[in-house]
Structure 1
Amino acid sequence: MNRKTLALPAVVGLLAPVLVACGDSGDDAGGGGTIVVGTTDQLAAGKGSPAPLDPAYAYDTGAWNVLRQTVQTLMHAPRGGGQPVPEAAESCGFTDNSSESYRCKLRSGLTFADGTEITAEDVKFSLERVRNINADNGTAALLSTVDTIETKGEDEVVFHLASPDATFPYKLSTPAAGIVNKKQYDGKKLREGFQVDGSGPYTMKAHVADDKLTKVVFSRNDSYTGDVEVRNKKVELRVFPDAAAMGEALEKGDIDVMTREMSPSQIKELEEKPKKGIDLIEMPGLSIRYLAFNTDHPSVKDKAVRQAMAALVDRGQIAGQVYGATAEPLYSLIPANIGAHKNSFYNQYGEPSVAKAAKILKKANIKAPVELKLHYTTDRYGAGTAREFEVLQKQLNASKLFSVTVQGAEWSSFRTAQKRGDYPVYGMGWFPDFPDPDNYIAPFLDKGNFLNSPYVSAEARALIPQSRRQADRGAASKEFTQMQDIVATDVPVLPLWQGKQHIAVRSGIQGGELLLNASSDLQLWELSTGK
């Protein structure tokens, strides 16, 4: 097996993608000029998720990976990663030294795909719409530091921030700041269904069955004006029920690329037994997995219960038995390859210890075994999730300190129940909105957080705005260190592991090494057939 490190810029200190050459083939890929990409990201519309692809509502990787192809933002992540650069904007920057005023000038000639001219008023409308709707999915929290938005002429927009926010350029690169057309999007209510209209690199056509997205056909938007070079004419994103079905489609040649989420067994097999005509590409990843708690639920309201779990859980066993080389134990919300990381949980609890957990419960006068139900989603984070929760259950029950049952549910019902507070303990994954330590803290601890968590740390909520004052993000390490220690003490969430990401590509498809950036954003425009 040949291994080749690709000469690409590193992302926040990570290694560049690694290509495992698994054979070669002279077959043409892409079928009639259309490149077909497989995914297991499920998107469903229903009572609990009425508008899965509205920028004012969407706040998960699957939805954002549709929006990033179709809706333009002022800023975006450049090829290979790094600080965000102008996209729909010609230029952007802070106009003061305190990171409280941010000005952008739009590119000339910007239009929506239907030919409507884009002005600064459209940008203002789009971002104010997200804030006014304030959906319960947590999306508006990304724009929480905005005080007012001012337009200057047709092509300049100024964001006046309520407090300093050095991360604001990153936030303008997320779909939450996507520019939408007033013709298709009401300023006061969500756009239900799966249609997306914007000014991005592609237009889209959604295919739906039983209120679930089955595929999206992206066609190059010939009126697109921006920073991205589109290297293909059409890409089909096809949704599969699981990794096994997606892998079978790749082997048959029905799809050209297999992406989120390949199973650990598929990755291992392609590494150890290369298949002719298929290349496995390993990419840097910043995703994390964790247990979260409804801290108002009687079974886990006492933090001693949560602390005892933190003292018992064997992350190394979970990573090794379930995910192999694709995962590493995680002892903080902030992953090890992001600046300001601290192993706060390890420092506080050390190696897994039944004796230590028993002492924590005894001190709090909590009688063992503590009865708990752990919930997980069956169709969101890959094939290893069910096995992961089996291992967690065995670890906790083996201690005799807990009596644990587990239950899985499809994401469409799981997420609704989780936000409603039905689950005392539940498993979640996080793919960062942008590669800054702030995005591993604020979405979990700040007001209006992604989890809709009842947990409040007044100290952490005071430290978050303090950390955003630092234009030099390394200078904010003190605040992030404190917040990581707060999480380890109070355990509103329990970090488990961080992962790498892999895709498999049929020979003949180029650009696979750039298909996913470190935040797991799909960049379909990078793919080509090399013709």
Structure 2
Amino acid sequence: MNRKTLVLPAAAVLLAPLLAACGGAEDGRAIVVGTTDQFIANEDAPAPLDPAFAYDTGTWNILRQTVQTLLHVPRGGGEPVPEAAQSCGFSDKASESYRCKLRSGLTFADGTPVTAEDVKYSIERVLKIKSDNGTAALLAGVDTVEAKGTDEVVFHLKSPDATFPYKLSTPVAGILSKDKYPADKLRDGFDVDGSGPYTMKVEREGEKAARFVFTRNPNYKGDIAPRNEKVELRAFADAGAMGKALESDDIDMMARSLSQKQIRELTETPKERIRVTEVPGLEIRYLGFNTKAPSVKEKAVRQAMAAVVDRGALVNGVYGPTAEPLYSLIPSSITGHATPFYDAYGDSDTARAAKILKDAGVSTPVKVTLNYTTDHYGAETAQEFEALKKQLVASGLFDATTRGAEWSTFRPAQKRGDYAVYGLGWFPDYPDPDNYIAPFLDSDNFLNTPYVNKVVRDQLIPRSRRQADRTAASPVYAQIQKIVAEDVPVLPLWQGKQYVAARDDLTGVEYALNTSSDLLLWELGRGTA
């Protein structure tokens, strides 16, 4: 049966617990979920699953099953609620002091008690290690952490931050044991120890992790109620191989990422006992620039690229109905969205681009290489970059080429500044406009960019975080977005939708992937809905 789900009726939500109760894993079989995310531990990234380093959707989806956080975003979204904590909240009107009380009887998977000192240790460890992956930036607003007794922790912030509860719900704030994680260096390999809903074992193939087996943690105490006893996450080289495994019943579900071709075929010509489900998504794709690289150092070059790119043609030609053009870093469904790139450059205006370059005295054609990752964002990435190249070359203003590399090579090279122009995607850490701005423009950011705008960094971002009512921060985000469109340190391209495909005896599929692309494996059960 083919089923698309955007919004479930109230009755379906009320029935979900009943269906889950009927849909356990009574036969003892693990639920098997496929992914095209690649997990590699090598010289460039020896500790991919250490919360002080991990900062991509794939690795965070491993950590969410195994490492507990004080808060988590509940099913269906909304503000974070207590998870390892019994209660949390700001204890002052200025939103500079945040206090949490731990649940009673909380332990790590090995039975060791979890205390406020463990929370303090874990946060301070991230800030001390300060890896080059940009992870620590999420906690950069923490001034000091105070453990009060065994079950109370207080975070003293450098400045007001209404988004701090969201940050505590991310794996970077995962609670770790000092016996398993050293204070001043990363923990290499794929081992993970925590107090989350599952324990984990990994099967390796050389540098890669081929599969992760999650078994329900009998010592877990928290807000999550797993609907299965065991789940296996299996990594596939590409969406095609993952799709064949679903058809042959080797896996029960394929999540990240289906190809556009698979989505179209499964939607238009449903396969027996396989259903495809559309779930809300907040992914964006963009070009990033090393603003010190000679080829794009001139702002006019980046502005001209913004004027040449035809997002509509790009989306229609490569992604079809699974994506839509984006003219801002903040996607359309998030508070504060605007269209500054359309306002400034229109859509594919070659004459405007030529004038920008001429007025700046830039000789044409400008030679640029568009770098992309071949194995991280789905099957269409190479096609997308070929289309971008053709658009730039057709303008007569650019001499463009493309170059692809595996993520394990691409990401370290991008952080080093080896690429003048590169393509990346962003899945939000939390659904707030702050998380589409700070990771690209704040200090110690994800991109490791040389671009600095002090007005944005020192004034506008802090001002936006003072607003407990996030809609009240919209004027500040509008100002930031105009600056981004003027300076073009990044060039937004499109925002995407999310799809999962599963065998029809799997329940909880609608909840297993949220808007931030968090994989919530505990929602899955086996049965008949």
* TM-score when normalising by structure 1: 0.95
User: Which position in structure 1 is the counterpart of 2:510?
Assistant: 513
User: Which position in structure 2 is the counterpart of 1:526?
Assistant: 523
- Residues 116-135 of structure 1 aligned to structure 2 (within 5 Å): 116-135=112-131
User: Which position in structure 1 is the counterpart of 2:468?
Assistant: 471
Q: Note if contact 2:5-2:510 (Cα within 8 Å) is conserved in structure 1.
A: no
User: Which position in structure 2 is the counterpart of 1:246?
Assistant: 242
Q: Note if contact 2:25-2:229 (Cα within 8 Å) is conserved in structure 1.
A: no
Inter-partner Cα distance in structure 1 for 2:236 and 2:464: 41
Inter-partner Cα distance in structure 2 for 1:326 and 1:428: 17
Inter-partner Cα distance in structure 1 for 2:389 and 2:33: 35
In structure 2, the gaps of 5 or more residues are 14-23
Structure 2 counterpart of 1:264, from 260, 264, 271 = 260
Offset of 1:327 from its aligned partner?
0.2
Structure 2 counterpart of 1:54, from 50, 53, 71 = 50
SS in 2 for 1:394: helix
Inter-partner Cα distance in structure 2 for 1:32 and 1:159: 43
Structure 1 residues 28-37 or 228-237, which shifts more?
28-37
Offset of 1:4 from its aligned partner?
6.0
- Residues 276-295 of structure 1 aligned to structure 2 (within 5 Å): 276-295=272-291
Inter-partner Cα distance in structure 2 for 1:299 and 1:7: 46
Offset of 1:72 from its aligned partner?
0.1
- Residues 346-361 of structure 1 aligned to structure 2 (within 5 Å): 346-361=342-357
Offset of 1:351 from its aligned partner?
2.2
| Aligned residue identity for 1:163 | S
Inter-partner Cα distance in structure 2 for 1:342 and 1:51: 38
Q: Does 1:457 align with 2:425?
A: no
SS in 1 for 2:74: coil
Structure 1 counterpart of 2:488, from 483, 487, 491 = 491
Inter-partner Cα distance in structure 1 for 2:73 and 2:37: 22
Inter-partner Cα distance in structure 1 for 2:167 and 2:55: 13
User: Which position in structure 1 is the counterpart of 2:224?
Assistant: 228
Offset of 1:194 from its aligned partner?
0.3
Inter-partner Cα distance in structure 2 for 1:480 and 1:158: 29
Offset of 1:146 from its aligned partner?
0.3
For residues 437-467 of structure 1, the C-alpha deviation after alignment (integer angstroms, 9 at most, x for no partner) is: 0000000000000000000001111210111
Q: Note if contact 2:25-2:228 (Cα within 8 Å) is conserved in structure 1.
A: no
Inter-partner Cα distance in structure 1 for 2:449 and 2:493: 19
Inter-partner Cα distance in structure 2 for 1:3 and 1:198: 36
SS in 2 for 1:249: helix
Q: Note if contact 1:9-1:81 (Cα within 8 Å) is conserved in structure 2.
A: no
- Residues 436-447 of structure 1 aligned to structure 2 (within 5 Å): 436-447=432-443
- Residues 12-91 of structure 1 aligned to structure 2 (within 5 Å): 32-91=28-87
For residues 101-128 of structure 1, the C-alpha deviation after alignment (integer angstroms, 9 at most, x for no partner) is: 0000000010000000000000000000
Q: Note if contact 1:29-1:506 (Cα within 8 Å) is conserved in structure 2.
A: no
Question: Would you say how many aligned residue pairs link Structure 1 and Structure 2?
Answer: 517
User: Which position in structure 1 is the counterpart of 2:427?
Assistant: 431
SS in 2 for 1:121: helix
| Aligned residue identity for 2:31 | I
Q: 1:411 to 1:434 in 2, by over 3 A?
A: same
In structure 1, the gaps of 5 or more residues are 11-15, 18-27
Q: Does 1:209 align with 2:205?
A: yes
Q: Percent of aligned pairs with the same residue? A: 67
Offset of 1:88 from its aligned partner?
0.2
Structure 2 counterpart of 1:180, from 176, 183, 188 = 176
User: Which position in structure 2 is the counterpart of 1:448?
Assistant: 444
Q: 1:30 to 1:7 in 2, by over 3 A?
A: farther
SS in 1 for 2:244: helix
Structure 2 counterpart of 1:403, from 399, 404, 417 = 399
Offset of 1:151 from its aligned partner?
1.1
Inter-partner Cα distance in structure 1 for 2:51 and 2:82: 19
Inter-partner Cα distance in structure 2 for 1:482 and 1:7: 33
SS in 2 for 1:203: strand
For residues 17-75 of structure 1, the C-alpha deviation after alignment (integer angstroms, 9 at most, x for no partner) is: 9xxxxxxxxxx999842000000001111121110000000000000000000000000
SS in 1 for 2:525: coil
* TM-score when normalising by structure 2: 0.96
Structure 2 counterpart of 1:97, from 87, 93, 100 = 93
SS in 2 for 1:38: strand
| Aligned residue identity for 1:249 | A
Q: Note if contact 1:29-1:507 (Cα within 8 Å) is conserved in structure 2.
A: no
Structure 2 counterpart of 1:106, from 102, 109, 113 = 102
- Residues 317-356 of structure 1 aligned to structure 2 (within 5 Å): 317-356=313-352
User: Which position in structure 1 is the counterpart of 2:21?
Assistant: none
For residues 302-352 of structure 1, the C-alpha deviation after alignment (integer angstroms, 9 at most, x for no partner) is: 010000000000111111111111000000000000000010100111121
User: Which position in structure 2 is the counterpart of 1:193?
Assistant: 189
User: Which position in structure 2 is the counterpart of 1:24?
Assistant: none
User: Which position in structure 2 is the counterpart of 1:20?
Assistant: none
Offset of 1:96 from its aligned partner?
0.8
Inter-partner Cα distance in structure 2 for 1:29 and 1:396: 53
